[in-house]
Structure 1
Amino acid sequence: MTKKKIFYALLIVLLFSFGSCIYYFFFIEKHSSVAIKDKDSNENISLLNEKETENDESKYYHVYVKYKDGGSSFVPRELNPGFRDDQDYQISTSFDDDGNPIDDKKMIVINNFTLSNENKEFIKSIIGGEKYNAAIKEIQEQLIRIKKDQSEGK
Structure 2
Amino acid sequence: MFETNHIKDYKTLNQMLDALLEGEDDIVSHLANASALLNEFLTDVNWVGFYTMKNGQLQLGPFQGKPACVTIPVGKGVCGTAVSEQKTMRIEDVHAFPGHIACDAASQSEIVVPIIINDSVFGVLDIDAPIKNRFTAEDQEGLENFVSILEKHVSKLD
- Per the normalisation by structure 1, the TM-score is 0.30
Higher strand share: 2
The higher radius of gyration belongs to 1
